[in-house]
């Protein structure tokens, strides 16, 4: 009688293991909230000892900061993908605004709300939030500046227009945690009409350009 040899187990590299930890922490943060993520919880999810988590991250705050940065970095790449870089600025901006309506970005809106709240008590997370906000401002301002150069957008202050638009987006995100979401037609078009007003576009231009 012969036995079938077992396939050799592949040992993960340190980088792969670290990536698994950060990805799991990010998922748990989306599902349960940043404040409820512990090293023990992440270890349980991965089926490893808590000591392995602390080997890569000195504190749970260090882990949560990296998980947050990873999550919002993926969000930014999905909202403004490199594949859209060659598109006219109007279409790039319209696609970003349409994508924000997806359920994935509702969950990430909750994560942003959660992180901004906890940032009051966790300086490391506060720095991570500020850095990621600055990166998003720069990326969106660049799209607006491209539109000004091409003649598609009209504004004397691209950064100011960007800030107004992000405030409108964040304002809608404030409803993400409502158990019974408030609905009104004005909210469905708010970010589009705000962007169109700030950038000198005719009403409906961005809503119909995605």
Q: How many structural domains is the chain composed of? A: 1
**Any domain includes 106:** yes
181 located within any domain: yes
Q: Provide the pLDDT for residue 103.
A: 72
| Cα–Cα distance measured from residue 98 to residue 190, given in angstroms and rounded to the nearest whole number | 12
Identify the pLDDT of residue 110.
Answer: 85
What's phi and psi for 127, nearest 5 deg? Answer: -65, -40
Q: Extract the tokens encoding 163.
A: 């800030």
Look at residue 187 in the predicted model and tell me its pLDDT.
Answer: 79
Residue 80 DSSP symbol: S
Do the Cβ atoms of 111 and 68 come closer than 8 Å?
A: yes
> What is the predicted pLDDT for the residue at 133?
95
Look at residue 2 in the predicted model and tell me its pLDDT: 54
Is the residue at 177 inside a domain? yes
Per the CB < 8 A criterion, the answer to whether 145 and 136 are in contact is no
Task: Retrieve residue 205's tokens.
Answer: 């231009």
* pLDDT recorded at residue 177: 67
Domain range for 112 is 69-198
In a domain, 122, yes or no: yes
- pLDDT mean for each 10 residues of the chain (210 residues): 56 90 92 91 94 94 93 89 93 93 78 91 94 95 97 98 94 73 79 96 90
């Amino acid at each position: 009688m012969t036995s079938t040899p077992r396939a050799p187990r592949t040992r993960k590299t340190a980088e792969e293991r670290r990536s698994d930890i950060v990805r799991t922490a990010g998922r748990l943060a989306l599902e349960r909230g940043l404040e409820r993520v512990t090293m023990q919880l992440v270890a349980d999810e991965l089926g490893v000892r808590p000591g392995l988590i602390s080997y890569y991250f000195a504190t749970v705050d260090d882990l949560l900061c990296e998980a947050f940065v990873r999550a919002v970095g993926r969000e930014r790449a999905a909202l403004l993908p490199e594949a859209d870089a060659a598109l006219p600025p109007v279409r790039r901006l319209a696609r970003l605004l349409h994508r924000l309506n997806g359920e994935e970005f509702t969950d990430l809106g909750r994560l942003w709300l959660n992180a901004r709240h906890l940032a009051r008590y966790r300086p490391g997370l506060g720095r991570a939030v500020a850095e990621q906000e600055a990166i998003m401002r720069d990326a969106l301002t660049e799209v607006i500046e491209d539109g000004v150069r091409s003649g598609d957008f009209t504004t004397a202050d691209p950064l100011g227009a960007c800030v107004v638009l992000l405030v409108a987006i964040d304002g809608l995100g404030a409803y993400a945690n409502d158990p019974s979401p408030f609905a009104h037609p004005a909210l469905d078009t708010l970010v589009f009409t705000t962007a169109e007003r700030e950038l000198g576009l005719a009403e409906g231009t961005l809503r119909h350009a995605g």
